[in-house]
Amino acid sequence: MFVAGVALGRILVPFAADGDGSGFHAPTIDDMFPPAIFFEGTIFEFNRIMMVRLIAVAALCLLFYLGTRKLKLIPTRGQSVAEMSLGFVQKSIAEEVLGKESGRRWTPLLTIIFFSVLALNITGIIPFLNIAGTSVVGFPLVLALISWIAFIYAGVKAHGGTFFKDALFPPGVPWPLYFILAPIELISTFILRPATLTIRLLANMMAGHFLLVLCFSATNALFLYASWALKPLGLLTYGVSVAFIALEIFIALLQAYIFALLTAVYISLSEEGH
């Protein structure tokens, strides 16, 4: 247990002892802004988080390629996993919210959103990567904008030019109330929706990273630097760390599901009208 705690702590947390000799490295917001690997100071700056994102996307593409490259009537194990994964998004998200016909049209987009969020979330607990690709605002914001564009596109396609009018000026409301309702609808429908999608995903993954760093760094500090009387506390922080890993796996799945589900809900609302 002692060896496992130290080893796992050093793998999952890029450990750097503080100058006071305590061995404890508290997580800070600087963890989200690692130094550049190359192209420093340019718009093409490449750092560890960008590397983690590329690795996650490459691994996701490889897994689906291996699972679907030789499709058979009687599926192999890999093909079965791929079909079950795609079927989950289609049945439990797309068709459940949008219905069969509309759900099938939007399944490709919802599938990309679900699995890209999941892949970049799960990197937060993978050894040697140990940070979620969604814990910096860029990727969550891009996905939120894609979701927002899909919402606008679906509404315009279903209702034409009246989509914006009906959204901002709901029919059947006394006209003086439009002075209050129109700004509220503009902010809540067209501004807050992409903002809340971004913040929800970003905040959850940042919080998870901070908790894991805090617990595993405390485990390292207690096992290696604390007095013998305090070392048994390392077993407690190690146990909490493992529990947080299980929690992070659940949150990674949950946030991917919520992001895709809300995208489907917004599309459904725009297609059905205000």
Residue whose C-alpha is closest to residue 257's, from 58, 81, 110: 110
CA distances from 128 to 12, 26, 53, 123, 261 (A): 7, 19, 13, 9, 31
Beta carbons of 204 and 118 less than 8 angstroms apart = no
Give the per-residue pLDDT at 7. 43
Give the per-residue pLDDT at 12. 41
Residue whose C-alpha is closest to residue 118's, from 96, 85, 149: 85
Give the per-residue pLDDT at 89. 94
Give the per-residue pLDDT at 6. 41
Give the per-residue pLDDT at 10. 43
Instruction: Give residue for tokens 């077993």.
Output: 235
**SS3 category, 47:** strand
Any idea what DSSP says for residue 17? Answer: -
CA distances from 22 to 18, 30, 78, 116 (A): 7, 20, 47, 39
CA pair distance 139, 256, nearest whole angstrom:
13
- Which amino acid makes up residue 87? G
- For the full predicted model, state whether its pTM sits above 0.95: no
Give the per-residue pLDDT at 221. 83
Any idea what DSSP says for residue 35? Answer: P
Instruction: Give residue for tokens 């795609």.
Output: 86
pLDDT lower than 50: segments of the chain: 1-21
Structure tokens at 100: 């069969």
Per-residue model confidence as pLDDT tens digits over 1-13: 334 444 444 444 4
Any idea what DSSP says for residue 89? Answer: I
> Which of 84-104 are b and which e, b meaning 16 or more Cβ less than 10 Å from the residue's Cβ?
ebbeebbeebbbebbeeebbe
Alpha carbon of residue 181 to chain centroid: 32
- Which amino acid makes up residue 91? K
Beta carbons of 129 and 55 less than 8 angstroms apart = yes
Angle between helices 2-12 and 192-224 (to 10 degrees): 140
